[in-house]
Amino acid sequence: DVKVTQSSRYLVKRTGEKVFLECVQDMDHENMFWYRQDPGLGLRLIYFSYDVKMKEKGDIPEGYSVSREKKERFSLILESASTNQTSMYLCASTPDRDLPWAFFGQGTRLTVV
């Protein structure tokens, strides 16, 4: 089974802190994604990556950055956390361009106080 693992299930951070969310997949997938999920808004794409060191902005990249130094790991960085970034963050991966269905991690519930 494909496994997508997010480093934390719950995080509480203070406003202004730099926050790192880590995601690891174990199936050599090319594509990795970060979404945030908010009630009534569905999942909104923050950033995605289709190869090591390659990234593209999603629909809501402001206030976030990403890093993909190794194929299996995709990190989401909140440069200076704000209360409006309180949300559920979901990481996903897809095998490649021709196999586009995604496998999701369990999510990280981030609260910024």
Partner 1 sequence: AQSVTQLDSHVSVSEGTPVLLRCNYSSSYSPSLFWYVQHPNKGLQLLLKYTSAATLVKGINGFEAEFKKSETSFHLTKPSAHMSDAAEYFCVVRILTGGGNKLTFGTGTQLKVEL
Among 11, 22, 50, 72, binds partner 1 (CB under 8 A): 50
Decide if residue 97 touches partner 1 (CB under 8 A): yes
Among 26, 28, 56, 79, binds partner 1 (CB under 8 A): 56
Decide if residue 34 touches partner 1 (CB under 8 A): no
Among 21, 78, 90, 110, binds partner 1 (CB under 8 A): 90
CB of 50 to partner 1, least distance (A): 3
CA-CA-CA-CA dihedral for 77, 22, 55, 98, to nearest 10: -150
Strands (E), the chain: 4-6, 10-13, 19-25, 31-38, 42-51, 54-57, 64-70, 73-78, 87-94, 103-104, 108-112
